[in-house]
């Protein structure tokens, strides 16, 4: 006991030795008290802002459900989100934001200039739907069809981008109401065609960047989220560093020599060469890549060849996707695929051409930014609801923004409470379902991050 008292007194005793002059010490103590009281004031101010965010986000929850269900019922494919763009823009203009429509075809960039000095922080929501037929029996079920590359297809928000739109409209609403306290500038990016533009069209994040979305004013950091059908509502998962995979599409064209199916020795069979290539591609993953560093996936999804059972065709075409979580491994896998395919072709006397097209980069969460903003997520969702998640082999074109500024992308739960995540319908499927009763958690998260990032900058 005595020892503790002695220790606790020692810093004060030290003050007497540093300031033998009582006047100086009084001055120092006054300064300390002033600093302490301004710290208490700042803390109280922050608590006030957090409480206001929470109150406003909860208040806007019913509106967000309305917006989300309207958008869900009126889905539009990538680069065709005309009605969606108008719907969002009308809301943002009503809030008094500086709104620019038609960015990267059907996207929107809107600026909210806060009343306090601070950084330029971008918040991104993607707005496109998919050619999927909805099977979920909800009153706001999509019955929409549209033209997709010359074909009539059903359209559904089967990746949950409708919830991203509603959340971001909610964030714009709440922050507009708190404008005088908002530090710096918030740049809202509503991005079309995240799932990839149709055919050879340009679009998505790369086109937005090309059109200068990260400049003027220059974005200092960018944040985004993805709703998850397999994570319970109210929960948030994040990962520092690599979070989502890069995605490349490859095509392997094999040219052999056509002949009669009864005498294969008179030709060069591109189908057999193709099967050998597929098997060898899998050994790149299992035998040549350091899987303790990061996972790699190579999948062949298409194998087209031949027209008749007794003709060995001249040509076979393989198409597939590559997923990596490390930029160096991505490059290495590209080289190995080319090498393996060409060497196998050569061994058989076939000609092989490989083309690889990068669709997205690795979605990389800046570790310093993540560290700064984890407390904001915990404030928004509650400490127990926020945890570090695992990386995923799914891909996001948000990754392109991350090349231009420190970025942070995280997952928000959209699965009904108590459901088994292993039974939740995956994204991009007809039974995909998102519960929208807790979209306010997303609003709280973004708003809190805007204030906390502004404060720490």
- Residue ranges in contact with Zn ion by CB under 5 A: 159
Q: 342 exposed, middle or buried (CB, 10 Å; 0-12, 13-18, 19+)?
A: middle
- Catalytic, out of 76, 126, 162, 194: 194
Q: Is 128 a catalytic residue?
A: yes
Judged by beta carbon, residue 364 or residue 453, the one nearer Zn ion is 364
Say if CB 83 and CB 128 are below 8 A apart.
no
Is the Cβ–Cβ distance between 128 and 106 less than 8 Å?
no
CB of 226 to Zn ion, least distance (A): 6
Q: Residue 159 or residue 325: which is nearer to Zn ion going by CB? A: 159
What's the CA gap between 99 and 110, in Å, rounded? 4
Q: Who's near 207: CB < 8 A, 6+ residues apart?
A: 104, 105, 193, 197
Closest contact distance (angstroms) between CB of 55 and Zn ion is 30
CB of residue 327 to Zn ion, shortest distance in Å: 22
CB 338, min distance to Zn ion, A: 28
Q: Which residues contact 119 (CB under 8 A, 6 or more apart)?
A: 183, 184, 185, 220, 221, 453, 454, 457
Which residue minimizes CB distance to Zn ion?
159
| Smallest distance, Zn ion to C-beta of residue 194, A | 6
71 vs 175, beta carbon nearer Zn ion? 71
Look at residues 238, 224, 129 and name the one whose alpha carbon lies nearest to residue 171.
224
Strands (E), 71-165: 98-103, 107-113, 116-126, 145-148, 151-154
Catalytic, 248? Answer no
State which H helix or E strand residue 52 sits in. Answer: helix 22-73
Please identify, using beta-carbon distances, which residue of 379 and 411 lies nearer to Zn ion. Answer: 411
Nearer to Zn ion, 159 or 182 (CB): 159
Strands 363-365 and 315-324: unpaired
| Catalytically active residues, by annotation | 128, 194
């Amino acid at each position: 006991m005595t020892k503790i008292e002695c220790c606790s007194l020692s810093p004060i005793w030290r003050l007497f030795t540093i300031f033998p002059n009582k006047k100086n010490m009084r001055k120092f103590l006054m300064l300390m008290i002033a600093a302490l009281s301004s710290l208490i004031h700042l803390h109280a101010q922050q608590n006030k802002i957090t409480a206001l965010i929470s109150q406003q986000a909860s208040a806007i929850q019913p509106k967000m459900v309305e917006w989300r269900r309207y958008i869900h019922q009126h889905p539009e494919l990538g680069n065709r989100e005309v009605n969606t763009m108008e719907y969002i823009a009308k809301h943002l203009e009503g809030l008094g934001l500086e709104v620019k429509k038609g960015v990267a075809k059907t996207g929107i960039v809107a600026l909210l200039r806060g009343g306090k000095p601070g950084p330029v922080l971008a918040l991104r929501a993607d707005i496109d739907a998919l050619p999927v037929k909805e099977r979920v029996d909800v009153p706001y079920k999509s019955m929409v069809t549209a033209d997709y590359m010359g074909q009539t297809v059903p359209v559904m928000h089967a990746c949950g981008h409708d919830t991203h739109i509603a959340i971001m409209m909610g964030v714009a609403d709440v922050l507009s109401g708190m404008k005088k306290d908002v530090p710096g500038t918030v740049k809202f990016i509503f991005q079309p065609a995240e799932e990839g533009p149709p055919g050879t069209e340009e679009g998505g994040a790369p086109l937005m960047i090309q059109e200068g979305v990260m400049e003027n004013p220059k974005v200092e950091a960018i944040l985004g989220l993805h709703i998850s059908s397999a994570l319970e509502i109210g929960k948030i998962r994040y990962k520092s560093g690599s979070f989502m995979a890069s995605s490349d599409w490859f095509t392997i064209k094999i040219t052999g020599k056509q002949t009669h199916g009864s005498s294969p020795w008179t030709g060069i069979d591109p189908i057999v060469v193709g099967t050998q290539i597929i098997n060898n591609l899998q050994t790149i993953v299992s035998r040549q890549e350091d899987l303790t560093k990061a996972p790699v996936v190579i999948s062949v999804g298409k194998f087209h060849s031949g027209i008749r059972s007794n003709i060995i065709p001249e040509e076979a075409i393989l198409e597939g996707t590559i997923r990596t979580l490390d930029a160096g491994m991505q490059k290495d896998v590209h080289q190995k695929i080319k090498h393996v395919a060409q060497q196998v072709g050569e061994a058989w006397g076939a000609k092989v051409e490989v083309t690889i097209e990068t669709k997205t980069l690795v979605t990389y969460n800046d570790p310093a930014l993540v560290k700064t903003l984890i407390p904001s997520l915990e404030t928004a969702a509650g400490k127990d609801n926020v945890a570090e998640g695992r990386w995923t082999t799914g891909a996001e074109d948000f990754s392109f923004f991350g090349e231009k500024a420190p970025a942070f992308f995280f997952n928000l739960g959209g699965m009904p409470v108590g459901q088994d995540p292993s039974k939740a319908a995956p994204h991009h499927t007809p039974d995909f379902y998102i519960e929208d009763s807790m979209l306010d958690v997303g609003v709280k998260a973004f708003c809190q991050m805007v204030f906390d990032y502004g404060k720490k900058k």
